[in-house]
Structure 1
Amino acid sequence: MKSSKFYVVTSLVGVVLLLQSCSESNDTNSNAESSTEMTESDNENQNSEETGDSNHEEGSDDNLENDILDDSNILKLVNKKYSLSEDYIPEDLVNLEVPTVLENAEVNQLSKEAADALKEMIDYAKEENIDILARSGYRSYKTQVQLFDNYVANHGEEAANQFSARPGESEHQTGLSIDVTSESVSYQLSESFGETIEGVWIKENAHKFGFIIRYPEGKEEIAGYQYEPWHLRYIGNDMAQNIYESGLTYEEYLVERGIDIEI
């Protein structure tokens, strides 16, 4: 874990250059505080009046197997073994209607269903005096090419692959993943977020709104990336609830369901 933290911290300057180039300018002197949004890497249910009515049923295992291979499905499995096509862009990207950290237009987008669920979750958290902000959402294949190449140039390919996704292997390209943060971690992406009031709230409640913590602590070998308490993946209420109760990663849960995937 210590080495992963080292790579994230030492990569700050390179990341911010890439983000800024995707939005308003190519400013090579961007502040390092805007950098870590590009780092990756992936209770009981409340009723629908509290958490919304966007609740996909999992269906049969045969359907599930098809769903996880469908680029446009909210259950699409994306990792180092299962990637998105180079030309895949979500058709229903919308601008986020929640507090955000960055001005970058690209990362302040999600697919509509995920964006609606995120707004509902953040609004609900606010009612409990928990302030959560969105830091990095959708990222295009092109942005991921630039990001990963920059990490390789600065740290080498083996090191970069520990905390960043290769192009096509990033969940952010689905438009269904969001990195969240809070004032308690200076609006950055840090493992310490998991120990904050906001991070604990996310861990205990995100599944009620269809999100899972995609890269849990202690599951690095399976998930493929370092522990990221800030990285949420939208997969719908039913699946999120089941995975939360199982204590498994997405990959482990699919295997438990009898889905033949490579881990």
Structure 2
Amino acid sequence: MQKIYIASIFLIGLFLTACQQGDPNTNIDEKEQTTQQEQQADQSVPKKETAKTEEQDNASDGSNDNESAKADDSTNEEDKQKEIDKHIAKVEKSTGLHVVDNPESPEVYVNKQRTLPEGYVPPNLVVPDVSHYSSEGSPKRQLQKVAADALEQLFAEADQQGIGLVAVSGYRSYERQKQIYESAVANKGQEHADKFSARPGTSEHQTGLAMDVASATETAATLLEQSFKQTDAGAWLAENAHNFGFIIRYPEGKNEITGYNYEPWHIRYVGKEIATEIYNKDITLEEYFGYDY
């Protein structure tokens, strides 16, 4: 009986020990569950970091887009400023001509692509006190005052050096230029007219800053001819006009740039600084400004 009692106690002890250790399969499941949770936790970290990285990349892309937009805006502003510097008020839809916005300035720049505003008449037109070829009271005698004063100085210096000059044609209205151009086309054809005569609105004479000059000894037969270059007066004018703020507007060999054939008689007031630079560099007004239109 005592032996049976002891054996029973021993079996009960084994049973309790087994309960305390638990089911081995249960322990394995718990370990696997723990491992999975740890793996999930480990995987969740890089996901957050990836999300942050993507947000940073998106923010960076947005920043780059903003910088590109700002750069484009800056470029547009620079282009706009360049157009302002070129003194273009607008472009005529019907002709494609660029209308200048500084017609009264000595630096106004007109040619076959650039035109004066419609109806423009220069202010302060006066008659310079020099010898004139045209009759008294003719608008051809007129220039803007700043150009008239400079022309008087130029003529006075030429006279002191024994060179006789005469002013042939200065200011010319739009209407008068229209008549001259249409007459040239009718008599000599469009191609010839475009080489020597400006279309109305694009003539420098309308600015009141240009004057056609001749030798005082010339006759009507040789007036405003390229042979003027070969005269003492023509040679002197070419070498000294810049000292008084004038340039030979359409120099020899530059017709592909200016659009007009050589006119040694046509001087244009631009001021001493610009005139001197153009003379020293042997360039045209187009080349000085750096653009054709």
Task: Give the TM-score of the pair, scaled to structure 2.
Answer: 0.64
Q: Kindly state the Cα deviation for residue 150 of structure 1 after the two structures are TM-superposed.
A: 1.2
Tell me, in whole angstroms, the C-alpha distance in 2 between the residues paired with 1:65 and 1:95.
Answer: 30
Question: Where does residue 44 of structure 2 map in the other structure?
Answer: none
Tell me, in whole angstroms, the C-alpha distance in 2 between the residues paired with 1:132 and 1:63.
Answer: 39
Match 2:219 to one of 182, 186, 190 = 186
Structure 1, unmatched stretches of 5+, are: 1-60, 256-260
Q: Kindly state the Cα deviation for residue 186 of structure 1 after the two structures are TM-superposed.
A: 2.1
Question: Where does residue 97 of structure 1 map in the other structure?
Answer: 129
Match 1:142 to one of 170, 175, 191 = 175
Do the aligned residues in 1 keep the contact of 2:178 with 2:200 (CA within 8 Å)?
yes
Structure 2, unmatched stretches of 5+, are: 1-81, 89-99
Q: Kindly state the Cα deviation for residue 97 of structure 1 after the two structures are TM-superposed.
A: 1.1
Question: Where does residue 93 of structure 2 map in the other structure?
Answer: none
Q: Kindly state the Cα deviation for residue 172 of structure 1 after the two structures are TM-superposed.
A: 0.1
Q: Kindly state the Cα deviation for residue 64 of structure 1 after the two structures are TM-superposed.
A: 5.8
- By relative contact order (CA 8 Å, sep 6+), the higher-ranking structure is 1
Tell me, in whole angstroms, the C-alpha distance in 2 between the residues paired with 1:170 and 1:99.
Answer: 23
Do the aligned residues in 1 keep the contact of 2:164 with 2:217 (CA within 8 Å)?
no
Cα-to-partner distance string for 1:111-162 (whole Å, 9 max, x where unaligned)? 0000000001101111111111100000000101111111122222222111
Question: Where does residue 243 of structure 1 map in the other structure?
Answer: 278
Instruction: Using the aligned pairs only, state the percent identity.
Output: 46
Count of residue pairs the alignment pairs up: 198
Which protein is bigger by CA-based radius of gyration?
Answer: 2
SS of residue in 2 equivalent to 1:148: helix
1:217 equivalent to 2:252? Answer yes
Q: CA RMSD in A?
A: 1.9
SS of residue in 2 equivalent to 1:200: helix
Task: Give the TM-score of the pair, scaled to structure 1.
Answer: 0.71
Cα-to-partner distance string for 1:54-94 (whole Å, 9 max, x where unaligned)? xxxxxxx9986449741111100010011112311011100
Q: Kindly state the Cα deviation for residue 95 of structure 1 after the two structures are TM-superposed.
A: 1.4
- Structure with bigger helix share is 2
Question: Where does residue 106 of structure 1 map in the other structure?
Answer: 139
1:252 equivalent to 2:284? Answer no
Question: Where does residue 49 of structure 1 map in the other structure?
Answer: none
Tell me, in whole angstroms, the C-alpha distance in 2 between the residues paired with 1:70 and 1:152.
Answer: 30
1:120 equivalent to 2:140? Answer no
Cα 1:117/1:181, change in 2 over 3 Å: same
SS of residue in 1 equivalent to 2:278: helix
Q: Kindly state the Cα deviation for residue 233 of structure 1 after the two structures are TM-superposed.
A: 0.3
List aligned pairs for 1:22-61, cutoff 5 A: none
SS of residue in 2 equivalent to 1:178: strand
Tell me, in whole angstroms, the C-alpha distance in 2 between the residues paired with 1:235 and 1:101.
Answer: 23
Question: Where does residue 234 of structure 2 map in the other structure?
Answer: 199
